[in-house]
Amino acid sequence: MGKYLLRRILQMIPVVLGTTLLVYALVFALPGDPVKAMFGDKPVNQAVAAQIRAEYNLDKPFIIQYLLFLKNALTLNFGNTFAGQPVIDEIGRAFPVTIKLGLMAFVFEALFGVAFGIVSGLKKGKWYDSVILIVSLLLISVPTFVTGFLGQYFIGVKWRILPVTAGNDPGFIDLLMPAMVLGSASMAYVIRLTRSEVSSNIAEDYVRTARAKGMSNRSVIVRHVLRNSMIPVVTYLGQDLGGLMGGAMISETIFNIHGIGFLTYQSILKGESNMVVSIVTLLTLIFVVCNLVVDMLYAALDPRIRYA
Q: Which residues are near other proteins by CB under 8 A?
A: 11, 14-16, 18-19, 22-23, 26-27, 29-31, 124-125, 137-138, 140-146, 149, 152-153, 157, 196, 199-200, 203, 242-243, 245-247, 249-250, 253, 264-265, 268-269, 276, 280, 283-284, 287-288
Instruction: Find the shortest distance in angstroms from Cβ 287 to other proteins.
Output: 5
DSSP string, 122-141: HTTTSHHHHHHHHHHHHHHH
Instruction: Find the shortest distance in angstroms from Cβ 268 to other proteins.
Output: 5
Neighbours of 105 (CB within 10 A): 27
Instruction: Find the shortest distance in angstroms from Cβ 127 to other proteins.
Output: 15
**How far apart, in whole angstroms, are the C-alpha atoms of residue 159 and residue 279?**
37
Q: Which of 5/50 has CB closer to other proteins?
A: 5
Instruction: Find the shortest distance in angstroms from Cβ 45 to other proteins.
Output: 27
Secondary structure (3-state) at 209:
helix
Instruction: Find the shortest distance in angstroms from Cβ 209 to other proteins.
Output: 15
Cα dihedral 174, 177, 182, 183 sign: positive
Q: Which of 23/104 has CB closer to other proteins?
A: 23
Instruction: Determine the Cα angle at 113 with ends 199 and 222, to 5°.
Output: 50
Instruction: Find the shortest distance in angstroms from Cβ 114 to other proteins.
Output: 18
The rounded Cα 284 to chain-centroid distance in angstroms is 10
Q: Which of 11/45 has CB closer to other proteins?
A: 11
Q: Which of 16/58 has CB closer to other proteins?
A: 16
Q: Which of 142/296 has CB closer to other proteins?
A: 142
Q: Which of 203/308 has CB closer to other proteins?
A: 203
**How far apart, in whole angstroms, are the C-alpha atoms of residue 144 and residue 153?**
14
Q: 167 forms bridges with which residues in the sheet?
A: 257
Instruction: Find the shortest distance in angstroms from Cβ 279 to other proteins.
Output: 8
Counting Cβ atoms within 10 Å, is residue 259 exposed (0-12), middle (13-18) or buried (19+)?
buried
Instruction: Determine the Cα angle at 209 with ends 208 and 213, to 5°.
Output: 115
Q: What is the DSSP letter of 216?
A: -
Q: Which of 72/239 has CB closer to other proteins?
A: 239
**How far apart, in whole angstroms, are the C-alpha atoms of residue 202 and residue 200?**
5
- Ramachandran quadrant class, 284 (left: phi over 0; alpha: psi -120 to 50; beta: rest): alpha
Q: What type of residue is 302?
A: D
